[in-house]
Amino acid sequence: MLRKLDSKDIVYNVNFDSEIYLNRESFIPEYKENVYEELDEALELNHQGYNIYLVDDLTSMKVEKLKEYLEKVMVNKEVPNDICYVIKEDREKPETLYLKKGNGEKLRNELEMIQKKYYDVIFDFYNLENCEEKENIIDSLQNYRTKLIEELVEKAHENGFDIKSSYKGFAFIPLTKEGEITEDDFELLKKEEKKDMLEKVDILKKEARDILDELKNKEIIELEKLKELLKVFLLEEMAEFKEELSLKFENDDSALNYIEYIYDNIEEELVEIYTMNFEEDDIQIKDILFNYEVNVMFDGSQIDSPRVIFENDPSLSNLFGNIEYTNKNGTYTSEISMITGGSVINSNGGVLIIEINKLLAYSKSYNYLKNFIEEGKLKLDYNKNYLELLTISSIKPEEIIVETKLILVGTIETYDLLYEYDPDFKKIFKLKVEYNPVVNCDEKNKETLKAALNNLCSEKKYKELSDSCYNKISKYLARKAENREKVLFDISTINDILILSDNKARKLNKKNIDEECLVFPDGKNSIIRKKIDEMYKNKHILVTVSGEKVGQVNGLSVIDLNYFVFGKPIKITCTCYKGEGHIIDVQKESELSGKIHSKAINTLSGLLNNLLNSYSRIPVDLHLSFEQIYGMVDGDSASVAEFLTIISSISKVPIKQNMGVTGSLNQFGEVQSIGGANEKIEGFYNTCQVIDSTKDKGVLIPNTNRNDLVLNDEIEKSILLNEFHIYTMENIKDAIEVMMGDYEEVLMKLRKELKKYSK
């Protein structure tokens, strides 16, 4: 049904008179009622694969609010065990140790105390002077050594030799009355004397070897006694320390078992290398004691609930951690202390949020993340192939069991692509949660919007809003939602408005942000739009906005630059001549037409035949063209305009040029909705203003787009003054009556003209 809209259908006015107080709980309405409920349910599922894909446009403020909510949920969750890497049997293969909350850092500190304590105790034993048993063993060994050496010296003297000791053993030197025999003296001896002397030396050397063997056996026996004594000493001296330490970890068997392992191995190795000489043993003692290390990978001591982490840069090292290396003489080496954790392990027991587009920018990160989710184990081998190219002494840490709930955030398009082309994705992200930022502008959400605005002003220290600002901001958000009965409830967009408006209020020295101070980030001063306006004004683009013309109509289009969207009129024309009923689309013939537009043209053929109730071929061919359009044309929103030019071209009935028209048609002449209604109306209004004036101008839109109308203040004012007009249509009959005149009369002229071509 044809209808001219009046001011109450167009002028936007929402009542915000109710008193609203700060209300943090209702900051994002649909999150609270929809997303949060689904997130709660998802977080309760501890089964494999039940991770979450949140369909949303992520902003820093939204991340902040999402984290804030999830952290409240995590308050009721228990902090998981600490996770440590420890050295046990092999320094190159650190093992994982899971300890009760807070015990990781405690164990690391206590290990330092254990090492210091053992060093002090072993030092005391080496320097022990008041232990009678130890002194007796050492004295006995020393006396035995002295006795054997004295006997050997006596035998040597009896056989005419002096004896000297060296690190290689004993040396026997022949003697005469004058003293030691030199090499020259030895050469002067008779052959028999030389032989006799050498035989005596051989006997003495054999006896020396026997003595050394006997002494060595004695030392082994006595050293074993000292080692047994050392064992007892270590047990006794460490007993109280061990008892105190056990009390600190009495409820953590894993920690106690590792400590006992350290005790046993340290004591066994200290006893094994004992030689009675501390200076000689010191290096080995330190190697034994400081072989053991603890690297705390996840420390729960500083948190009361599991963490919620947003990883803004999901590289491999940021997600999974890293093993650092140092270059020593051309060889790259690493050790346990050079292993660092990433956001995956830091969010153990909690939630890790990642923006999918940033994750996909790191293809390896995405693949490793999938492997981690499937196995539940964190591996630090992602540099394996690269490191194999280097001369490297690498460590191979054991896998870590981590329980983290993953939330990927991204668009529905990305979700669809991953779901279709990645067979693993649907197995590990089984839960899809969608957030629709467009909400009904009902009383509850109006209160929430006002509360959100007030909260942001309070939190960010912006100036307060005057009462009239709420309606204007709501209007802007309704425009973004493309529905006057809804608003786009996007915190980031709202905050952008307040930032710009607060800045202007401060420049103007205003006490509050009033209507004059409101600034909206809509790209109003686009250079492209200004240039197009100049082209209309200078008639570089030909559009007529007054009078009537046959076969010409002002269609309405939208230019979408992503960062800025605006409308502009285009001249659509049609010519006809005798033919076989073909509609020739100039855009398609020029390869400037998309598939949807081509479909719309084909639909017009069916509609024309349906309108004429004709089973015979239409005797004319029609040429349709979008004038001065040199890029791709797609969509079906110009169907009504195109059909009007067809009817006008055949019937010779002119079309009003003071009107712009937009709308889609089906084969039965029903008018269907289009997009960008506001931009199209404002584009035509602006062009009329540039070329002529806006008085007695108007647009014709689908009736189903009525609720989409959220127009700028200037157009609302022009409509209130009855200068600019908006009409709605439900079918092609309505369109013809607005743009061309009486419907039946137009059809009569149409049929009359067609008869001429049929002859």
- Which of the residues are catalytic? 637, 680
Contact 684, 699 (CB under 8 A): yes
Residue 738's CB is within 10 A of a number of other CB atoms, namely 21
Instruction: Give CA–CA dist 664/702, Å, rounded.
Output: 8
Instruction: Give CA–CA dist 343/474, Å, rounded.
Output: 39
Instruction: Give CA–CA dist 258/396, Å, rounded.
Output: 20
Strand 52-55 relative to strand 431-434: parallel, antiparallel, unpaired? parallel
Residue 426's CB is within 10 A of a number of other CB atoms, namely 14
Q: Strand ranges (DSSP E) for 183-235? A: none
Instruction: Give CA–CA dist 731/734, Å, rounded.
Output: 6
- Residue 654 three-state SS: coil
Strand order, beta sheet including 724-729: 3-4, 724-729, 697-702, 659-661, 552-560, 565-578, 620-626, 583-585
Angle at 54 between CA 561 and CA 484, to 5 degrees: 50
Go through 579-601 and write b for each residue having 16 or more CB atoms within 10 A of its CB, e for each that does not: beeebebbbbeeebbeeebbebb
Which residue do the tokens 């000489």 mark? Answer: 277
Instruction: Give CA–CA dist 628/501, Å, rounded.
Output: 40
Contact 663, 640 (CB under 8 A): yes
Q: Which residues contact 645 (CB under 8 A, 6 or more apart)?
A: 551, 552, 553, 572, 573, 574, 624, 655
Could you tell me which of 318, 103, 135 has the C-alpha nearest to residue 225? 135
Q: Which residues contact 42 (CB under 8 A, 6 or more apart)?
A: 50, 52, 405, 431, 433
Contact 163, 172 (CB under 8 A): yes
Could you tell me which of 577, 575, 574 has the C-alpha nearest to residue 619? 577
Residue 530's CB is within 10 A of a number of other CB atoms, namely 10
Q: Which residues contact 285 (CB under 8 A, 6 or more apart)?
A: 119, 122, 270, 273
Instruction: Give CA–CA dist 29/485, Å, rounded.
Output: 16
Name 340's bridge partners. Answer: 322
User: Tokens standing for 277?
Assistant: 């000489």
| 3-state SS track over 275-301 | CCCHHHHHHHHHHHHCCCCEEEEECCC
Instruction: Give CA–CA dist 260/269, Å, rounded.
Output: 14
Instruction: Give CA–CA dist 497/519, Å, rounded.
Output: 6
Instruction: Give CA–CA dist 688/130, Å, rounded.
Output: 112
User: Tokens standing for 366?
Assistant: 């995405």
